[in-house]
Chain A
Amino acid sequence: MIAPVPSSSCSPLDELLRAAPCGLFAFDDAGTLLALNDTLLDVLGYAREDVQGRPVTGLLSLASRLFCETHVFPLLRMQGRVDELYLTLRTRSGESVPMLLNAVRQERAEGAVHQCAVMSVRERGKYEDELLKARRAAEEALRNNAALIQIRQEFEEHTRTLDHKLTQLEQRNQELTRVSAILAQDLREPIRKLSLFACLFTREDREGLSMTGQRSLELIRTVSAKLEQLVVGLHQFMSLDVLEDPIEEVDLLEAVGNARRRVKEMSGHPAPELRCAALPIIEGRRRQLMTLFFHLLDNAAKFHKPGELPRVDIECQLVQHNSFRALKDRYHYTDFVKITVADQGMGFATSDAGYVFEVLRKLDPDSPGLGVGLPICRKVVENHHGTLSVESEPGRGTRFTLLLPLKQQTHSAA
């Protein structure tokens, strides 16, 4: 389209702005188009009254409007100008025109004004397309190459470490199986006999003994009973490493219900009153997860405040979490269930939070139980690639936080 012949009333400068071989326009802080020159109207196919006084974003493609909102407008406000930005304008007929934009912001008494110049870069755009394509290919190649070299090095290192660890693990597993067998039979049998023979003393036999003898006999009985329990507890703890339970879909609500019934049957304490949120079905080892909740509930049943019934609140939330736990700089976000098990029992000082998960470590040697419950809990959670933490305050209660993945990794070490 050819611009009309200039009228003689225009100054040469006005004429230059009106018909300059680039588009010129201005918009205010609210984004309203204040003015635009004939060249721009021609390029876009608009009449002045179609666009003047309307939003400047109407001239842009949607992608370019997005880019303006997130980059250009903030830059203009913070920096006062932008140079050589690539934008796509939209003609009246919907065609895209690639343009380069320069703009400056001028603060005026009546409000800020943005003065802009755009120049079509259709031909240049093709050249840039090629450049971009080449750059992407180069980046891709570089990335693959660097990534491959790194992966190969890591792989070799990992293979060596893995081999070493597997050897160790196998040996350790044999030892554990042996220790577990010792705990289950060799050690338990003599202890059981000790208990048994101590019980064989009839009342008459005992009456024949001195006071010291009677007391010693009584002590032998209590100590051997305790020893037997201890061996049972240790065996339970060790067997979590040795036995290979299958991974299956476990309804956690069912696991909690079973655990509560078992607390009632086994401990002789009143079963804790339970307020339990809806729990999901997750992949895991059924027996182990049941044991986990058994010990958590049992703990609450044992350490409730004197004169109060034990009460446990179980809350649940699905979260996404990094499934890498030990490796630094590795990230894989997957679904976990975060379960908190809170009681209002006796609690303990936070400084002891590390101890409670250690085997046979008891904060109060006179308290009931063996000191294997919480270590078992932690082992179960670890076997499921999760985490277990505890917060507590004396007199206020204890809150365990479990993080268990919804799905277990399918590959397992052979």
Chain B
Amino acid sequence: MPTTNANVLARNNVQRLGRGTQPMLFAHGFGCDQNMWRFVTPSFENDYRLVLFDYVGSGRSDLRAYNSERYSDLHGYAQDILDICEALDLRDVILVAHSVSSMIGLLAAIQQPERFHRLVFLGPSPRYVDEPPHYTGGFQRRDLEELLETMDRNYIGWAHGLAPVIMRNPDRPQFTAELAASFCSTDPVIARRFAEVTFFSDNRGDLPKLQVPSLILQCSEDLLAPQSVGEYMHRHVPRSTLKVMRAQGHCPHLSEPAETCALIQDYLRPS
């Protein structure tokens, strides 16, 4: 199947909203899909043209487009971002990327710096595995292999927990049943491969190649990306700004959307 623009939009379940002109592209992290951004997008709708998508293999993307060779490398995911930029002819893009998407976005912006205006990284890490004596990613290989086992257990036969469920939350009517049915639903085999490529990639060597200015949002007490990793990023990414957030955990856009939005807006405000 040739990759035409319409194909890309359907393949990555691309959604567009907002009333501005400058594009703001939101890239979800590992374990979830574009619904993760729903508490954040309202703050930018008036001023930007918002583009949301699911990586192939996540959310409501077209699973038939999954190519194990392509997506066994973060560059394959970066190609998803570049494909979307090309399909919509996006220029001057502000890319907001969570977790592993930070490295995916970084790789995309190294390949086509002319497309991007600013990058915003939420809880980025260039390498999760410790590389003694000079680098502490926070994890031993064994810890991450155990995580893969935990994932396998939770995906047995698709039966439990992470399989699509119908929304049982009547006090939040904005979550329609349809959205809920797709939330975080992912093919177990693909999810496992995504986990492998996420947690075992090493992108430390790519950091100095980024030419586009970037904002690193570092949460306090983030198990996946400890503060020392944020500082490492800041030291090695040229033209980067580091902000340490009050928000705790790995998903500030869920737990502290107000702080997350305010920091991004501050950063984008022309000085």
Q: Name A's B-contacting residues (CB within 8 A).
A: 29-31, 57, 61-67, 69-71, 73-75, 77-88, 107, 128, 131-132, 135, 139, 317-322, 328-333
Contacts and interface: CB of A to CB of B under 8 A. Distances in A.
B175 A78 contact: yes
Given A66-B150, A74-B36, 17 more contacts: A66-B143, A66-B223, A67-B151, A73-B249, A75-B184, A78-B35, A79-B167, A85-B161, A87-B150, A319-B111, A319-B209, A328-B2, A328-B3, A329-B70, A331-B76, A332-B69, A333-B76
B161 A84 contact: yes
A90 B169 CA distance: 31
Contacts of B3: 328
B146 A61 contact: yes
B147 to A, nearest CB: 4
A55 to B, nearest CB: 9
The 7 closest A-B pairs by CB, nearest first: A63-B146, A70-B31, A86-B153, A84-B160, A331-B70, A80-B169, A69-B250
Given A63-B143, A86-B153, A78 B254 contact: yes
B161 A80 contact: no
Contacts of A62: 139, 143, 146
Contacts of B30: 70
Interface of B: 2-3, 29-32, 35-36, 67, 69-70, 73, 75-76, 79, 99, 107, 110-111, 139, 143-144, 146-147, 149-154, 156-157, 159-162, 165, 167-169, 171-172, 175, 180, 183-184, 189, 209, 222-224, 248-251, 254-255
Given A80-B169, A321-B111, A69 B153 contact: no
A317 B29 CA distance: 27
B115 to A, nearest CB: 14
A118 to B, nearest CB: 13
Nearest to B152: A132
Contacts of A318: 209
A40 B234 CA distance: 42
Contacts, number: 135
A320 B150 contact: no
Most buried by B among A70, A77, A318: A70
Most buried by B among A30, A61, A75: A75
Contacts of B222: 69
14 contacts: A29-B255, A62-B139, A62-B143, A63-B143, A63-B150, A69-B250, A71-B184, A79-B167, A79-B183, A88-B150, A321-B111, A329-B67, A331-B75, A332-B69
A265 B70 CA distance: 48
B69 A70 contact: no
B251 A79 contact: no
A73 B151 CA distance: 15
A67 B147 contact: yes
Contacts of A57: 223
Contacts of A331: 67, 69-70, 73, 75-76
B251 A73 contact: yes
A31 B248 contact: yes
Contacts of B209: 317-319
B158 to A, nearest CB: 11
A264 B228 CA distance: 53
Contacts of B248: 30-31
A71 B153 contact: no
B161 A78 contact: no
Most buried by A among B3, B32, B75, B153: B153
A65 B29 CA distance: 17
Given A31-B248, A320-B75, A333-B75, A66 B147 contact: yes
Given A81-B168, A128-B153, A74 B223 contact: no
B249 A79 contact: no
Contacts of A107: 171
Contacts of B99: 70
A78 B183 contact: yes
A71 B189 contact: no
A167 B139 CA distance: 55
B168 A85 contact: no
A312 B101 CA distance: 36
A73 B248 CA distance: 12
Nearest to A132: B152
B171 to A, nearest CB: 7
B184 A74 contact: yes
A350 B154 CA distance: 54
Contacts of A29: 255
Nearest to B111: A319
Contact of A319 (B110, B143, B171, B189): B110
